[in-house]
Amino acid sequence: MQECSGRRKIIKQINMSCILHIETSTDACSVAVSQDGAVIFHVEDFEGPSHAQKLGTFVDEALSFTDNHAIPFDAVAVSQGPGSYTGLRIGVSMAKGICYARDLKLLALPTLKVMCVPVLLGQELPEDALLCPMIDARRMEVYAAVYDRALNVVEETAPMVVDDAAFADLLEKHPVYFFGNGAAKCEGVIEHPNAHFIDGIKPVAKNMMPLAEREHAMGAFQDVAYFEPFYLKDFVAIKSNKVDKIIRG
């Protein structure tokens, strides 16, 4: 009953569709297929990052599944970031290639918002609760955003350094639920009684379905030719000391 109630809060449309979902924003690599508001296929790998090796195989499996069942796709949804530069690049390139090859529409979903879906469906939250998904951005930095229970933006997605003053204003007024692989950095730093931490939340393709259905119903499609991932920060190549020693001899 709770899951059905949560789903109604996220999906508010009548017409459904068949969508291929691709998620590669973190070390996890996952692909899913949804039809008429239900996930009918999904495959995941959490031993990465291995997107370059795994994603093509996962997509082939998804396409074979739908082709064998004579299910036509309406769109491809991709997790747009923030997250791993390489992972996002691989996922978006794959999504674009499928859209071109099969003449499909492209949907792009904010990764942090995708992470909120299992929390809304699986947790009993107070009415005034705020959701703060976090992705690890190395050292003490995270990519974070804050949403209310209707997934309205309270604080925009941004990189931030976690300290004991982080989210202090919000925590004084609301219970705030932190989750994602960046939230572990906060658990020993943010000690306000209104701070709650949820383990095990990762961005995965099967959780993209409710948001993708809504975007599809609204006609919120991306330009396949010009769409770029939401990297949030520029890519910086770092040369290792070992490579430097080899070059110098």
Q: What is the pLDDT of residues 191-240, one digit of tens each?
A: 999 999 999 999 999 999 999 999 999 999 999 999 999 997 654 444 43
pLDDT at 41: 98
The alpha carbon of 59 is separated from its chain's Cα centroid by a whole number of angstroms, namely 17
End-to-end CA distance of the chain: 66
Residue 167 contacts residue 154 (beta carbons within 8 Å): no
pLDDT at 6: 46
Q: Where in the chain is the domain with CATH 3.30.420.40?
A: 2-111+203-218, 113-198
pLDDT at 112 over 50: yes
pLDDT at 10 over 60: no
Is domain 2-111+203-218 given the CATH code 3.30.70.2860 in the classification? no
Residue 18 contacts residue 71 (beta carbons within 8 Å): yes
Q: What's the rounded Cα separation, in Å, for the pair 66 and 83?
A: 29
Contacts made by residues 185-191, CB under 8 angstroms, sequence distance 24+: 185/134, 185/136, 185/140, 185/142, 186/134, 186/142, 186/162, 189/162, 189/163, 189/164, 190/162, 190/164, 190/166, 191/164
**What are the angstrom distances between the C-alpha of 64 and each of 20, 59, 60, 244?**
12, 8, 6, 45
State which fold the 113-198 domain adopts: Nucleotidyltransferase; domain 5 (3.30.420)
Residues 96-104, mean pLDDT to the nearest whole number: 97
Residue 185 or 174, more confident: 174
Torsion sign, CA atoms 191, 194, 198, 203: negative
pLDDT 10s digits, 132-182: 999 999 877 999 999 999 999 999 999 999 888 889 999 999 999 999 999
pLDDT at 184: 86
pLDDT at 16: 63
